[in-house]
Each structure stands twice: as C-alpha cells, then as structure tokens.
A and B are shown apart, each in its own frame.
Chain A
C-alpha cells in the first residue's frame, strides 16, 4: 500500500544590491528591488501560475484522492503579496480544497537553528502568523531550511509541539534501511520523521530532462510503475523537491507539465496506491524503527551536509558576523533594522559564497546572481558593516 507524499518547497530570497564599500554609511536600503521583481516575475510566469492551475485541476479531477504539501517561505510570500497577489490567491484556492498541507519553517529561510535557538523560534512563530493570516491554517509538520535534520533539532522541534519532521533519506544515515517508511529519531521519541526518497525525487527534479540518462524520456506511466514496484516493501514514497522544478528548473519544453498532469492519474490507476500528506502519513503507518542523526544532514549536493552554506571561511565569517549582532539588534527595538537583519539571514546569501562549484559543476552558479562567490562575500560584508554602523 505505498502512499505517495509529494512535498514542494517554494522559496525566493531578497537578493542584495551590488552594495559597494562607498555606500557604507550612505545607503541603508540593501535589497535589489528591481532584480528581485524580475526574478519573481519570470518564475511566476514560467512556474507558479501554471503549476498552481495544474495542481488545482488535478485535485478537482481526482476528487480528493490527489494531495500535496507545500513549504512556502515567508520571504517569498511577502514578495508575492506585494507583486503577484494572484499567486497567493492560487495557493489560497489550493488550501481551501482541504487536500493541501502547509509545513512550518523559518520565515526567513534561514540557518538560525545553528546560531540562535531564540531566533529560530522567533522566525517559526513569524511564519506561523503569516500562514494563519493568509490561509487560516496552522501547520502541524515541520521542515527546516534545506531539509536540515539532526537528533537535537528533532528534539527542539518536538518540544514546539510538531508531530512530524521532514528530512533527507541520506544513505549514510539509513544504511541498509529504506527511506520508504516512517521513522522515529533518536532522542526525540514523539516526533515522526519522513525521509526523502532522493532517488525517485531526483528522477523528476534533476534527471527529468537529462537526455543521456538511460530512463529518458521519463513518462508518468513509467514513474507510476516504479512507485508500484515498492508495493510490499515500503509504506510511503516521499517525493520532496523544489516547487520551481515545474517550469523553472525543468522548462516547459521538457514536457514537465504534461508529466505532472498525468502523474496522479497514472499512480492512482493502481488501486493499492494513494496520495497522502505528511500529517496523514504518520497516522496511517507505524514507525519502522529509530534512526540516529548525530549531526546535521541536509538535502544538498553529494555530501548531504551543510558544506554548501558554511563549508568555507567566508561563509563562516559572514554567518558569525551577522548573528553576532543579535543582542544589539534586539535591544535596539528598531523594526526596520530587525527586519533587514533577518532578511540577511536567508540561506541563499551564504550559498552564493560557496566555492565548491568550481570543481563540482554548475548547480550553484546557475542559482547565483553574482559573478563569483567572492563578490557575494564582499557585498554581504559591506552591508553588514553598514548595518553595524547604524547600531552604534
């Protein structure tokens, strides 16, 4: 009885201006409005509007048998509200069907968990408030930025009252075990973990348009047969990926929308298959065992760790510096400065400083608005210095 648990992560950062050292002390506006608008406009056109429409049609067509979960970062929602309220409207319609679950996360898509428990909680609360006000919905399941998960983190999230947590089905954690079951986490007895089936997820999000992949072209029919193949040795298949897979990472020309339109029908053709959301899944299936996440595991790169965000000294420096201002910022009671400080915590800023891609191919470069990781560091530090100056 495999249940497909489809979760789409939706996020766009507030990208920074090309902020020069000569702007320090003279310009307290850090975000590149035009560039952010342009990115958002393109993704809205290529991905959000199309995909939301398809998802809504699918829910109606399958009369409640197709379900889907979303992660919607606060910084994305804020930008959509301002520029593309029709996308918010689309998500609201989806939520109204009762077939969608929205996950809790940090409003600013940050790495706050690693640096400040207080700030981590504050950002989750901000996100809850935003989701409540836009969708009248209170999340019950949690996923942290970049699918970060560790024993300790699971425990902290459990204490906040969440019943489910999402993570990466990394081989070095699972060992011989399969990601296709619900698990418990060592040290966090009450919360249930759902782990990404990275193979099947990446077949869609990364390999879908890869022509030298032996399975190309991937059809919904073929994929549904793979899902069915898990029948008898797995309870669920966790397909977690970026929402932007549909139309942005995989362009329309690749046939990704046709694939999405046909996938639920093909999966539901087999009567033993169904779709379930994270909070349903933990009621349907008992944990198959307990897993140990002694350190942070993420869904990134081949290492499945944090090295894309704090693997080099520039990233560590920038993160340490920005969090070093926490006490001062919170004492200062200036709402605008607080908000700017939080937007500077968005993980993307540190991802742009990653130098791994010089060797590892171009995934990082594709996402970066900068000429080089060094430029990303310079801009960030210039802004940090201005922010610091404003606190003095």
Chain B
C-alpha cells in the first residue's frame, strides 16, 4: 500500500517551544509516523531541531525561491508589490509573520508531493489555505487554542479571529484537542458541528532530554516544606492570579507550604506585585520558563500541581504532572478533564474551593497517594498512538 503523505504546517517544535503547541505537534507527528504515515513537517523559520521520524522543512530556508512562486500568474501587480514587501522587509508583528508564512507555504506546496495538508492553529492556517489553493489537496485544521481561550474572551483580536474563521471554513475537517474546544469552534465561529472532530492530546514519554540550563535545586526546600506548583505561561488564560489568591488562603491554614510559579509571560510583574500585596512574597518562587531536566525536576519535587486555567483547550501539563507522579487539581474549564478522572476539579474563580482542595491533598496523605497512583495508571493509557489513529481515521474519511 502506498504511504499516506501529509504536509504538516507547525509553528514551533521542541526543543524550541514556548508551550504545549510544539510538544503536541511532536507527539502527534511521531505517532503518525509509527502508523506508517509520512509527515513533512514545515516550520516557518530555520531553527536547530531535528527528528528521525519526519522530514523537517524550514519555510524561510530558500527565500529567493519564494519570488518565483509569487509570480504574475497568481497576483495582480499591486498584490505582487505588497507581497514582496511583506516577504523581504522583515517581520513587523505576529500577524505579518503569519501572512508571510502563508506565502512561503505556496512554494513548498508546489514543490512537495503529498496527499493531505494538516495545519496547527491560526499561526499556520494561512499556510494551510495557501497549500490547499496551490495543490487542491484537502486541508485539516487542527485547533489547539482559540483566540477566545488566549484572551479569556475579552479583547479578541479581530485579525486573528478572521484568520481562525477562514481556516475553519476552508478546512475539509477540523480536529479539536477536546470537546471543550470543539464546542467553542461551533459556537463562536459558526462552524457545522459535523465537520469538527475531537483528537485528544496525550503524553509523550520518550522525548530525549537535553540539558540546556543548570539544574534547579529544590531539595533543601523539599525537606521542610510542601510544594505546590503552577506551571504555564504567566498570562490571563492560565489563571496564575487565582493561583496566588488560593496560595494566600492556604498559607492562612498551613504555613509550611511553598508555591512555585514556573513560566514566563506578560503578567509576571503584576504577579510579583500581587504576591507582595497578599503578603506571601516570601512563599512564592518565580522560576521563569523551565524545560527538560528542570521541568521534570520541578514536577517531581511538587507535592501537587494546580492548573487553574480560565479557559484551557486541553492542558498537556496536567498529563505531564501525572506522568511524573504528581497529583493534579485542574480547572473544570479545561479539555484535559475529559480524559482524566483521577484528579480534583475546581472552578478557577472559586478561590476557597481551590485552597480547600490544595489543603486536602497536602494534609490527607491517603488522598495524595490515591490520586497519584490512580492518576499515573490513567495517564499511562492516554497515548499519542491513540490520537494518531483517530487522526488517521479522519484523513481516510476525507480521502475516501
């Protein structure tokens, strides 16, 4: 049987990832390769990454070639001028970068041989759409997070929304990382529910660990204190401010607790100030962005991982924490709560409930151990292989 070839557009790839998107792309691509699918993975810029299970193309590697495809055959002279300016004047913001990626994608789609196109998030939708236009091949739009998740519903960027909507409308199928996200695509973008399928994320266990930084050492802390972890971008969507308020409540009852905030983001300064205002600055540690060994270390050191997201399309970190044997409290407003039962669930806005459950895990060792053991068993079964099979079924459905 002929190998199915997928032209996949991504934005980031480990080790150069800022969040779950790159991790999910890696996991899915690797598992698809195991299913006998040939993936050509496209990234917008040349970075130092490699994988033995797929061919990686960097869209900006031969920018001169790009001129060839942006020819009069496709564009009016006005458009041509605009496009070339966009291409060669350098990036002026994320939306421009995304548009530029779309233009470069044309050339790749012309050159490469493939059966289906698969694009991840709005960042790659213009690329996917362009590839579809050039090749006439079907497009799968994968949605990891909508603009509504990132912004918490206020201050939605209209340009981004328009790109997302166009991507959903042009796509032959949409794959959402959870039913939670699927509902958003249907409700907020007016997409026919029959077109949107759920492919849950999973936990990648074999990713090679390379050490880039010095190892975080928390063992001194661990001896005397309990550790509660927040890990994610320090941004509205992830609810770090609710975490700090719950932390203050916890410390009222139990003074022997440290709270670690691992991640970076636009709210960092605000959060540091908030911890001072709450009078708990001496009990909150901001580690900055962690990866690889430090990431593993911080998960393992923690007695509990809390994911208080305001809106979490999936929430891979919850699986990572469980994979490291750390029990989790997750927001009910998350996709991962569809696949994990052995966890505690909270409404992100209910600070008392969150603090109460944090205290319960810290104070009732039987609870902590049961969550840990049952959660580890459960996460074991959530594999990228299952997700890849679901994805493959969707490919076959479109192609048949």
Contacts and interface: CB of A to CB of B under 8 A. Distances in A.
Given A21-B253, A22-B253, A371-B345, A378 B353 contact: no
Contacts of A258: none
B367 interface: yes
Interface stretch (A59-67, A142-150, A309-317): A309-317
A355 B374 contact: yes
Given A372-B341, A372-B344, A372-B345, A22 B360 contact: no
A381 interface: yes
Contact of B364 (A355, A371, A375, A381): A381
Nearest to B373: A313
Contacts of B146: none
Contacts of B371: 374
Contacts of A382: 356, 360
Contacts of B364: 317, 377-378, 381
B137 interface: no
B390 interface: no
A375 B120 CA distance: 37
A317 B369 CA distance: 12
Chain B CB within 10 Å, residue with most, of A313, A378, A381: A378
Interface string B232-264: 000000000000000001000100000000000
A312 B369 CA distance: 11
A382 B249 CA distance: 16
Nearest to B327: A374
A20 interface: yes
Contacts of A21: 253, 355-356, 359-360, 363
A382 B360 CA distance: 8
Given A313-B370, A355-B342, A358-B341, 20 more contacts: A21-B360, A22-B249, A313-B366, A314-B366, A355-B370, A371-B345, A372-B344, A372-B345, A374-B344, A374-B367, A374-B371, A375-B344, A377-B360, A377-B367, A378-B344, A378-B360, A378-B364, A381-B367, A382-B356, A382-B360
B324 interface: no
19 contacts: A20-B352, A21-B356, A22-B355, A22-B356, A313-B366, A314-B366, A314-B367, A314-B370, A358-B374, A358-B378, A372-B341, A372-B344, A375-B344, A378-B344, A378-B356, A378-B357, A378-B364, A381-B360, A382-B360
A374 B361 CA distance: 10
Nearest to B371: A374
Contacts of B343: 372, 374
B376 to A, nearest CB: 14
Nearest to A316: B366
Contacts of B370: 312-314, 355, 374, 377
Contact of B366 (A317, A355, A358, A375): A317
Interface residues of B, number: 23
B84 to A, nearest CB: 57
Interface in A365-392: 371-372, 374-375, 377-378, 381-382
Contact of B369 (A313, A355, A375, A378): A313
B223 to A, nearest CB: 25
Contacts of B363: 21
A313 B367 CA distance: 8
A20 B249 CA distance: 12
A371 B350 CA distance: 15
A20 B350 CA distance: 12
Interface in B311-369: 341-345, 352-353, 355-357, 359-360, 363-364, 366-367, 369
Nearest to A18: B353
A22 B356 CA distance: 7
7 closest pairs, A vs B, by CB? A378-B360, A317-B366, A20-B356, A21-B359, A21-B356, A358-B341, A313-B366
A382 B367 CA distance: 12
Interface string A293-320: 0000000000000000000111001000
Given A378-B356, A378-B360, A358 B367 contact: no
Interface string B46-74: 00000000000000000000000000000
Contacts of A355: 342, 370, 374
A381 B253 CA distance: 16
Nearest to B360: A378
Interface string A339-383: 000000000000000010010000000000001101101100110
